[in-house]
């Protein structure tokens, strides 16, 4: 199974890379920036969708891991002056360790208790930056310097380089993630998610599987945070608020829980809908309090409507469309789908 699909995945990666490169040249600097933004969101959301969708553990605080990755990158670049790729790897490693710690603490927690703990994590961790302003720059944060490498020439726009780097890192991360999901590790996650007692009886070490899922998803978030640092050129507590953590979960669920393409749909939705709504509102010249709040209200409505219309997320909707028009493609995707049965009590 893996052998025949790995080439397919590589092909997808190459095609997407080419498309993005093309778009980044055609479209202007602002769109390039958005591509870069979407890239790091997708990375974080992909990690979260694997954690929640495949291993069944919810996290309302993944912004904390992005913060760890971002600050680690900023500090390495600032104090050690090493190349970005090295800073990225260090940030990933540090976040992986953090993910392990959280995973161990979370291993025995279920559902809403895990939600509560991770929610508080998402709130508390960025506050550390305020508590130690000397190291972390406090409210103002740390500036991050990121430049275009010289071999690309002086006229190569920074935003385009950011889009390229972001996309490249994201695609590699997604590729590795996909391989993991279809491997035995991924199967163990799904087994633990569906029935952890049965999984344990099958010889799967439930705690290790759950911790491993946290480590992997935290690492993805750390990588995303690292990208955020170099793309926005700043790491500050204001970039890693609870709103970010909530947005990541929203993107994961609305895109289609457990689905990597879903991470893309979800990220697109949470980035583009508010931007679009803001554009529409400001083009109508509404007063500032009304004008700035209509996009917020609209975004809320969109979340509700999409969630009600697509209970399996956007990717679920895509799957239904594909099932209508093309059989074989649909069957392969079912493999990685979310749990079959709703666990809500009282539904008869």
Partner 1 sequence: MVEFLQFTLSGAVFGMVYAAIALSLVLIWRGTRLLNYAQGGMAMFTTYVAIEVIYRTGSYWAGFVVALAAGMVLGAVCERGVVRLTTGRPPLNAVIVTIGLLILLEGLAGIFYGGQYRSFPAAFSIIGLRVGHTPIGVSRFDVFVAAAVLVTTLAFAAAFKYTAAGLRLRATAFNPTIARLSGIRVARVLTVGWALAGLLGALAGVLVSPSTFLYPNSMDTIFVYGFTAAVIGGLDSPAGSVVGGLLLGIVLSYVGGYLGSQGPDLTALVALGILVVVLMIRPDGLFAGARLRRV
Q: Which residues bind partner 1 (CB under 8 A)?
A: 52, 58, 105, 108-110, 112-113, 115-117, 119-121, 123-124, 127-128, 130-131, 196-197, 200-201, 206, 242, 246, 249-250, 253-254, 257, 289-290, 292-304, 307-308, 311-312, 338-339, 342-348
Question: Which residue, 98 or 119, has its beta carbon nearer to partner 1?
Answer: 119
Alpha-carbon 304 to chain mean position: 21
Query: Cα(228)–Cα(222) distance, rounded to whole angstroms?
Result: 10
Long-range pairs, 200-207, Cβ under 8 A, ≥24: 207/107
CB of 243 to partner 1, least distance (A): 9
Question: Which residue, 87 or 248, has its beta carbon nearer to partner 1?
Answer: 248
Question: Which residue, 29 or 298, has its beta carbon nearer to partner 1?
Answer: 298
CB 297 within 8 A of CB 326: no
Question: Which residue, 143 or 196, has its beta carbon nearer to partner 1?
Answer: 196
CA angle, residues 115, 119, 120, in degrees to nearest 5? 125
Question: Which residue, 202 or 332, has its beta carbon nearer to partner 1?
Answer: 202
CB of 137 to partner 1, least distance (A): 14
Query: Cα(260)–Cα(186) distance, rounded to whole angstroms?
Result: 13
Question: Residue 152 gets which letter from DSSP?
Answer: G
CB of 190 to partner 1, least distance (A): 15
Question: Which residue, 89 or 246, has its beta carbon nearer to partner 1?
Answer: 246
CB of 198 to partner 1, least distance (A): 9
Query: Cα(239)–Cα(307) distance, rounded to whole angstroms?
Result: 26
Question: Which residue, 301 or 321, has its beta carbon nearer to partner 1?
Answer: 301
CA distances (Å), origin 30, targets 40, 195, 281 = 16, 46, 19
CB of 316 to partner 1, least distance (A): 10
Sign (positive or negative) of CA dihedral 93, 95, 101, 105: negative
CA distances (Å), origin 85, targets 77, 267, 297 = 10, 24, 40
CB of 226 to partner 1, least distance (A): 23
Question: Which residue, 147 or 288, has its beta carbon nearer to partner 1?
Answer: 288
Question: Residue 202 gets which letter from DSSP?
Answer: T
195 membership: H or E segment, kind and range? none
CB of 101 to partner 1, least distance (A): 11
Number of H helices, E strands in the chain: 15, 2
Q: State the DSSP string of 10-44.
A: HHHHHHHHHHHHHHHHHS-HHHHHHHHHHHHHHHH
What separation, in Å, do the N-terminal and C-terminal C-alpha atoms of the chain show?
Answer: 37
Q: Which residues pair with 143 in a beta bridge?
A: 234
CB of 270 to partner 1, least distance (A): 11
Query: Cα(280)–Cα(104) distance, rounded to whole angstroms?
Result: 46
CB of 81 to partner 1, least distance (A): 30
Question: Which residue, 152 or 296, has its beta carbon nearer to partner 1?
Answer: 296
């Amino acid at each position: 199974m893996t052998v025949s699909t790995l080439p397919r995945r590589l092909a997808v990666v190459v095609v997407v890379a080419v498309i993005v490169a093309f778009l980044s040249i055609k479209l202007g600097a602002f769109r390039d920036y958005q591509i870069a933004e979407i890239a790091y969101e997708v990375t974080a959301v992909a990690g979260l969708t694997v954690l929640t969708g495949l291993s069944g553990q919810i996290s309302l605080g993944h912004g904390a891991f992005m913060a760890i990755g971002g600050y680690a990158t900023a500090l390495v670049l600032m104090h050690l002056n090493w190349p970005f790729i090295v800073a990225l790897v260090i940030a990933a490693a540090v976040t992986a360790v953090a993910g392990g710690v959280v995973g161990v603490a979370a291993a025995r927690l279920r559902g809403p208790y895990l939600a509560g703990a991770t929610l508080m994590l998402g709130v508390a961790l960025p506050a550390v930056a305020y508590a130690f302003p000397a190291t972390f720059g406090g409210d103002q944060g740390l500036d991050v310097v990121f430049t275009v490498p010289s071999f690309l020439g002086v006229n190569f726009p920074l935003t385009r380089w950011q889009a390229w780097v972001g996309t490249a890192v994201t695609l590699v991360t997604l590729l590795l993630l996909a391989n993991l999901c279809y491997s035995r590790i991924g199967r163990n996650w799904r087994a633990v998610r569906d029935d952890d007692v049965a999984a344990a009886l099958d010889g799967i070490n439930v705690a290790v599987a759950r911790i491993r899922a946290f480590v992997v998803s935290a690492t993805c978030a750390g990588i995303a945070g690292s990208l955020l640092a170099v793309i926005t050129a700043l790491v500050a507590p204001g970039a890693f608020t609870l709103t970010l953590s909530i947005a990541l979960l929203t993107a994961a669920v609305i895109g289609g829980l457990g689905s990597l393409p879903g991470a893309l749909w979800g990220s697109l939705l949470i980035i583009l809908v508010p931007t679009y709504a803001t554009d529409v509102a400001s083009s109508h010249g509404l007063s500032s309090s009304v004008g700035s709040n209509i996009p917020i209200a609209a975004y809320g409505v969109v979340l509700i409507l999409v969630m009600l219309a697509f209970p399996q997320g956007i990717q679920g909707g895509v799957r239904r469309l594909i099932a209508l028009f093309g059989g074989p493609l649909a069957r392969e995707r079912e493999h990685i789908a979310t749990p079959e049965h709703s666990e809500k009590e009282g539904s008869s």
